[in-house]
Amino acid sequence: MSGLYIHIPFCRHKCCYCSFVSQPCTGSPPAAYLEALLKHIRQYSRLDWLKDREITSIFIGGGTPSLYDGKSLARLISACRYNFTCQPGLEISMESNPNSLSPAQLSLCREAGLNRLSIGVQSFNDRLLMVLGRSHDRNQARLAFSMARAAGFDNINLDLMYNLPGQSLDDWRETLRQVMALAPEHLSIYELSVEPGTPFAELWESRRLNLLAEEEVVEQENMTYTLLEDEGFERYEISNFARPGRQCRHNLNYWRNGSYLGLGAAAVSCLSGLRLRNIENAETYIKMVCQGLTPLAEGEALSIEASFRESVIMGLRMLKGVSLTDLQLRYDLHPLAYYGPILHRLIKRGLIAIDDNYMRLSAEALPVANQILAELV
């Protein structure tokens, strides 16, 4: 599998918790950035690496790609489809925010081939949305969802967050109740984390940000898992839930440590073990691409062992786990032999299980997954 990722680094304004590469922009994002992207697409479509390779998924992320109008987005999607050899019926996803969608724009995107929409809802509580510094309210989120359905999207993801400052268990239950009333196909649910360099980090350091106690977070998580299971969602990755057959194919490729090409400022590519990162600054990116230069900031060739460890760590994020046959075929390595006593200890403690030729985290390990994965880096 090979994915194509396109990064749009612009947002209405910066949310208080956000550490993604995006910059605030008033009005429409720069047309020059879109032109640079189109040129970058043409430039990279001639890469030798792409010969005999099909693109199996396209993901337009950000930032807020939906700040562009329908015509611009349709041009971008069509350019990807025209310049790369795409698998028939490939998944084409785009991230969006509730207050940057319109019926005409959604229809144009749909006609161009967009078949999966992700909406950054985060919460259905207006007070909490304000705390997060989001630029929309819950009514706009509901409206965005119904516009997407009306435009023909039958594969919609909602992004949600819990462990928000001052969020009670009832607040979270109410958000989930409203989500279920919309009946999306997919949910990405993340615990709020305080990232360095964000306004929340500043508040946290000066003790002006009150996150929930650990027991409250566990209560929120347990309620989420029970409710989603009852509603027919499968938890297939630590933070991702899907109705049958609606798992995100693009992200599955990441978790399987597959290859992908990243275009746009700050985008990362991983081409058969070669890791490349584009420069972050959007203006410099535009200038370089327009001058015919390759806008790379850095590159790294991963050793077989480093790539193996990444495959293990990423693969363990999926509840099914990582395939031992795949690891053997790809690296000629077995985790038990490679990690030795560290892995034996985790298995003995019941945190990692090996069965049916898959290695996976046990149910007890999931709440402390990050700590366990850190041991295998």
- For the bound state, the minimum distance from the C-beta of residue 24 to ligand SF4, rounded and expressed in Å, comes to 8
Nearer to ligand SF4, 33 or 308 (CB): 33
Min. distance of Cβ 190 from ligand SF4 in angstroms?
Answer: 11
Q: Closest separation between CB of residue 61 and ligand SF4, Å?
A: 9
Q: Sort residue 85 into left (φ over 0), alpha (ψ -120 to 50) or beta.
A: beta
Q: CB 101 → ligand SF4: shortest distance, Å?
A: 13
Give the nearest distance from C-beta 117 to ligand SF4 in angstroms: 15
In this complex, which beta carbon is closest to ligand SF4, that of residue 118 or of residue 257?
Answer: 118
Nearest in space to 56 (alpha carbons), one of 236, 252, 270, 307: 252
- If the CB atoms of residues 187 and 346 are measured against ligand SF4, the closer one turns out to be 187
Copy the structure tokens of residue 173. 């239950």
Closer to ligand SF4 by CB, 19 or 102: give it. Answer: 19
**Which one, 266 or 318, has the nearer CB to ligand SF4?**
266
Tell me the C-alpha distance between 296 and 262, whole Å. 11
Closest CB 251 distance from ligand SF4, rounded Å: 17
**Residue 128: CB minimum distance to ligand SF4, A:** 14
**In the complex, least distance from residue 332 CB atom to ligand SF4, rounded to whole angstroms:** 40
Q: Which residues face 261 on adjacent strands? A: 4
Binding residues for ligand SF4, rule: CB under 6 A, are: 11, 14-15, 18, 20, 22, 62-64, 97, 120
Based on CB atoms, which residue is closest to ligand SF4, 121 or 318? 121
What is the 3 state secondary structure string of the chain?
A: CEEEEEEECEECCCCCCCCCCCEECCCCCCHHHHHHHHHHHHHHCCCHHHCCCCEEEEEEEECCHHHCCHHHHHHHHHHHHHHCCEEEEEEEEEEECHHHCCHHHHHHHHHHCCCEEEEEEECCCHHHHHHHCCCCCHHHHHHHHHHHHHCCCCCEEEEEEECCCCCCHHHHHHHHHHHHHHCCCEEEEEECCCCCCCHHHHHHHCCCCCCCCHHHHHHHHHHHHHHHHHCCCEEEECCEEECCCCCCHHHHHHHCCCEEEEECCCCEEEECCEEEEECCCHHHHHHHHHCCCCCEEEEEECCHHHHHHHHHHHHCCECCCEEHHHHHHHHCCCHHHHHCHHHHHHHHCCCEEEECCEEEECCCCHHHHHHHHHHCC
The residue (of 99 and 284) whose beta carbon lies closer to ligand SF4 is 99
Residue 20 vs 331, nearer CB to ligand SF4: 20
Q: Which is nearer to ligand SF4, 29 or 63 (CB)?
A: 63
CB of 25 to ligand SF4, least distance (A): 10
